Structure 1
Amino acid sequence: MTHFCDSRFHPLQHSEKVALPEKFTFPFYYEPHELCVEAAKDLQAYLESQTDFVHNFGLDQTMEGLVIGKMFGVMVVKNDEGRIGYLAAFSGKLSDNNYLEGFVPPIYNTLNIDGFYKKGEAELNVLNRQIENLESATELQKAKDALKKSKALAETEIKAFKALMKAEKKKRNKKRDEAKPVLSDEAFQELFNELKEQSIGYQLRLKYLKYEWEQKIKQAEIELNNYLQPIADLKDKRAKQSSGLQKRIHQQYQFLNAEGEVKDLLDIFKDTKSPIPPAGSGECAAPKLFQYAYENGFKPIAMAEFWWGASPKSEVRKHKQFYPSCRSKCEPILGHMMQGLQVDANPIEQAISYEADLEIVYEDEYLLLVNKPHEFLSVPGKTYSQSVLTKMRAYLPKAKGPLLVHRLDMSTSGLLLVAKNERIHKHLQKQFIERSVKKRYVALLDGELKAKTGQVDLPLRVDLDNRPQQLVCYEHGKPAVTNFEVQAIENGKTRIHFYPVTGRTHQLRVHAAHSKGLQIPIIGDDLYGVKANRLHLHAEQLTFVHPITKEVLTIVCEAPF
């Protein structure tokens, strides 16, 4: 691709031979159109051979510096002459640049050294240095130490004086008790008053001691505050300048849509759950592609985004693989920018129906196990209600309680345990909580796994930017442990048994696909691998203690693949 940088509109060789899609790509769940695949391969060929910029994607082990993989986007468009080509974009900055030949420009150039953002950033950096200098000053540390020393001495002296008071009180009590039998009433009353005066004297001395130290500590606090207050003032000034700069930046990001309407980031996010736009909003590839297309009279036809480089440590990202647009930042923005376009329906929101009766694998008077179909919900979702739970309520109209003892991911098929009353549900749920229930899943991995057995231990948390996807996170993630055992390897695919110790969302899928896990995604995993006819993951076997008979039951439901 020697002429990639000649233009931002890149012709597609096979566009005349391929039927154009009737509607634009739904960017958050899609299979790339044939022309998008061609465009992506064209761009990837350029990335593999280019010498126009230097960026460490983590693909060249000889390169030094921070490894930063990137999302790249291609948008197939039609120009005013009716020619079909594509636009290319990258997320964020590339090689510390916003502008690179052949790629569409950013919505707003934060790297412009003459722009208000860089000047504002420089002012914030000055404040940061001033704050750092004041916080590291020896005078501040001395003032902190003086206050700490005063509090410690006060505590020591007051504690010692209280001990003295206690000892003196003990002496007075002894003196009073010994004198009472031998002294006259008048003499004893005189002694009593004397001892009482001594007690009051000690109380007054304690009061004055406390007051003296309160004054010393107060003075030390005043002296410390003389150093802290300028720091607080600078931090307050920094916060106000940062907030003002951020608001001004958000106003600079002006987004068009197909109807010619313009909204900035504040307008777009004001009615969302996060009215303050997340950091990096508008810097992703997709908004850049839409903006350039609208500004230059190109008609958007289809779009796709792919990952280029090594996978981040927390996410599952495979080199050259297509991925959807991020939800937290791009969903509100693209929701505006796609207005006026005919867009494919969101397949996730399309009603999933399963008209046939669910297969009952085992049933008795107290419980049953049902074979959940793949791509069918365990419980009702936000947009559609049909689920295993609704079908079980219809099948067991007299049953009481929650019924389902556990759940399976929508894409996973297999055994679900159902309790017919609350008492049975409580007994079975306790076994799940105590992890005494033994679960076995069968899966097909999209590659050959060398290890025969082993364990994956990677803590997981939800990806806040791309729900419901999960991230590996050692700081905030919940423990997630999976044991595995390879059953067979055929035609380059691995049949494997998973034995989850914990039950986190997408645990088996992430543990299979992640670079620190098995590094081979499950076939058909549309979130962490490549979409196929189905996710090849099936809950095949459950072993548990029957709450009534106390018999250990092992129920098997063979996988349909």
Structure 2
Amino acid sequence: MGNEEKQGSKVVELEVEEKLEGQRLDTVLAQSIPELTRSQVQRLISEGQVMVDGQPQSKSYRVREKEIIRLTIPPPKAYSLQAEELPIKIVYEDEEVVVVSKEAGMVVHPSFGHTSGTLVNALLFWIRDLAGIGGVSRPGIIHRLDKNTSGLILVAKNDLAYQALARQLKGRSIKRKYLALVKGVIQEKAGVIKTLIARSTRNRKKMAVSFDKGKEAVTHFRVLERFKNCTLVEVALETGRTHQIRVHFSHIKHPVLGDKIYGGADKLSQEIGLERQFLHACELSFFHPGREEMITVTDQLPPELEEVLAQVRKQERVPFA
């Protein structure tokens, strides 16, 4: 599959492999291009942005081996970010960086159809001159958290700090730890989960462990407390793939409690009053770009998770072997 940029548009060209013979055109494209949903692919087909061997085809067209599919993704329509006076918790701040604690339910950055009420909107209000640092839609943001994950996020306040911290993230020298309450009793005291993670072929909004393609994902964990039917773990990310912790613990049959996407509905969450996924980014370590020293910032569990943990601690504990 080849990609090219053309006057702001992205052009994707791929040759149909033997294993894809006979599949629908929209299905093949949705499986091959992770950033597009099937409905988005169908819209592009209807707009004439997809050609098969130089000819337009319908979404239900059955592809043949060695055909060349060429898809053009138009540039996104521009939108402006608005500063909004939203409450945020600043855990650490100096002249170069700020570390904030995001609450569960808040999206990190705007996207089309969701341009307000995000962490970025709040940051633009509270931190002057942030706009434009590191990109228009994600000013200053070094890394992200899922909407329903709470905890620490690192933000750069100038371009030099952004570039230095972005290099650290790429080089895996920024260390991130999480607290998670997972289903079932983990027998090991500690462990490492190492797999490939790719976009799910069944649900394009989900990620999944893959055995033949995808990006390397490495998650370290240490058991803190064991209970009758759940385990409290400290999790350290070596890589930072989308939904990595949630995918990995679901993969080993210990999904994060409250995670409806990767763990499904569970009675235990209802019994202990858990209304969100129990996943919190509790510690962040990075090399300060201005002071040239390691900085470690910590954040306590939010009240709603503290209450759930207190409820769980009333259960019978399972001792270490």
Same fold (TM over 0.5): yes
Q: Secondary structure at the match of 1:450?
A: coil
1:502 to 239, 243, 255: 239
Structural mapping, 1:97-496, within 5 Å: 271-273=42-44, 275-277=58-60, 356-385=86-115, 386-400=117-131, 401=133, 402-496=139-233
Aligned 8 A contact 2:86 2:122 in 1: no
| CA spacing shift, 1:506–1:492, aligned 2, 3 Å | same
Stretches of structure 2 that go unaligned for 5 or more consecutive residues are 1-17, 26-38, 46-57, 63-83, 134-138, 266-273, 306-321
Residues 269, 444 of structure 1: alpha-carbon distance in 2 compared, 3 angstrom cutoff: closer
CA distance in 2, matches of 1:447, 1:389: 36
| C-alpha separation in 2, matches of 1:537 and 1:269 | 31
How far is the alpha carbon of 1:547 from its aligned partner?
A: 0.7
Q: What's the counterpart of residue 551 of structure 1?
A: 293
The alpha-carbon deviation at position 483 of structure 1 amounts to 0.6
Q: Structure 1 residues 520 and 423, CA, compared in 2 at 3 Å: closer, same or farther?
A: same
In structure 1, which of residues 521, 526, 533 is the aligned counterpart of residue 255 of structure 2? 521
CA distance in 2, matches of 1:374, 1:409: 8
SS in 2 for 1:461: strand
| AA in 2 matched with 1:393 | L
Residues 534, 355 of structure 1: alpha-carbon distance in 2 compared, 3 angstrom cutoff: farther
Q: Residue type matched to 1:276 in 2?
A: K
After the TM superposition, which segments of 4 or more aligned residues of structure 1 sit over 3 Å from their partners?
268-275
Summarize the Cα distance change of 1:452–1:278 in structure 2 as closer, same or farther, 3 Å threshold.
farther
Bigger fraction of residues in helix: 1
Contact 1:513 1:521 in 2 (8 A): yes
Q: CA RMSD in A?
A: 2.7
Matched to 2:156, the amino acid is A
Shift in CA distance, 278/443, structure 1 to aligned 2, threshold 3 Å: farther
Asked if the contact 1:367/1:418 (under 8 Å) is kept, the reply is yes
| Number of equivalent positions | 223
Identity of aligned residues (%): 32
Residue 523 of structure 1 aligns to which amino acid in structure 2? L
- Structure-1-length-normalised TM-score: 0.37
CA distance in 2, matches of 1:406, 1:506: 13
The one-letter code of the counterpart of 2:277 is L
Instruction: Specify the SS of the correspondent of 1:458.
Output: strand
Distance 1:557 1:526 in 2: 25
Flag the structure with larger Rg: 1
Between Structure 1 and Structure 2, the one with more strand by share is 2
SS at match of 2:249: helix
**Can you list the C-alpha shifts for 1:385-432, whole angstroms capped at 9, x where unaligned?**
221111111111323513111111111111000111111111111111
Quick check: 2:246–2:255 contact (8 Å CA) kept in 1? yes
1:356 CA displacement: 4.7
C-alpha distance in 2 between matches for 1:413 and 1:378: 11
1:68-83 equivalences under 5 Å are none
- Write the letter of the residue equivalent to 1:489: R
Normalising by structure 2, report the TM-score: 0.64
> 5+ residue gaps in structure 1?
1-234, 248-267, 280-353
CA distance in structure 1 between the partners assigned to 2:297 and 2:61 by the alignment:
47
